Copies of this chain bind each other. A is one copy, B any other.
Amino acid sequence: MAKGFEVALRTAAAQTERYIAGELDNLPGEIGKGMVYATQGGKALRAFLVLETAKLHGITSALPVAAAIECMHAYSLVHDDLPCMDDDALRRGQPTVHVKWDEAIAVLVGDALQSLAFECVLRPDIAADARIVLAQTLARAAGVRGMVGGQAADIAAETARAPLSLGQVMALQAGKTGALISWSAMAGARMAQADTAPLKQYGDSLGLAFQIWDDVLDIEGDAEQVGKAVGKDAAAGKATFVSHLGLDGAKRRAADLVKTACDALSVYGDDAETLKEAARFVISRTH
């Protein structure tokens, strides 16, 4: 990883983890503990995107927004890992919430993390109208027209008679992973009430590259490094970017998308160097 991005990513992770843990301090019962557990140890790519695009627009109060998107992302992972969904026992190299606690706790931890995301996203010291747009676009990105819709399409695909077409895989992933990543990338411009078009182009391309690379890691990665089970998609005969494009084709497509992402940032000049590093990181990561 390039130095500047590496430091920014680590800082984003440390700051958001501390912020969220501070929110949940001294709560009775297991839910608060599970919420803290579920929001630690991630890469914090989404938090980084929020903080870095905020900085690009001169916004310095973005930490609650970065925490919000990590809460939202963490909730989706906790619910996706449930036995009735992907049934995963390992996440970020640790037991998943329903394994460490139980299913009821995992459902509630996810539910409360989503609520906390909306509590936090409305907090930054910016114009009230900008906060409202931020929260409403987050709600849409998370909901049935975004992340949940993508996850539902993913589950439906497993029982469908024919494997998904490449276009269908793209649409599914645009919801499942893309919606929150794009939202994170656009957050800075939204907070500043500036034009969101360049960051949308950046975020959409980055999100798609990210998902293609996840499919590559499902083939090439090893479970210990990736921090979750690998080889599941191929074993299940699932349509992925790799099954459609081949391993080399998928890598090429991801590289093209990273170039598109970086080109979209030209309007920001040298200030966007760390965001470009982030885009390059997405297709070099081993987990």
Report A's interface with B, CB cutoff 8 A: 24, 27, 29-32, 35, 75, 79, 82, 84-85, 102-105, 107-108, 110-112, 114-116, 118-119, 122-123, 128-129, 131-132, 135-136, 138-140, 142-145, 148-149, 151-153, 155-156
Contact = CB atoms under 8 A, between A and B. Distances in A.
Contacts of A129: 128
Nearest to A23: B144
Contacts of A115: 114, 139-140, 142-144, 148
A12 B284 CA distance: 54
A224 B101 CA distance: 35
Majority-rule SS of A interface residues: helix
A79 B105 contact: no
Nearest to A138: B118
Contact of A132 (B35, B111, B128): B128
Contacts of A135: 118, 122, 135
A10 to B, nearest CB: 27
Given A107-B82, A107-B107, A112 B156 contact: no
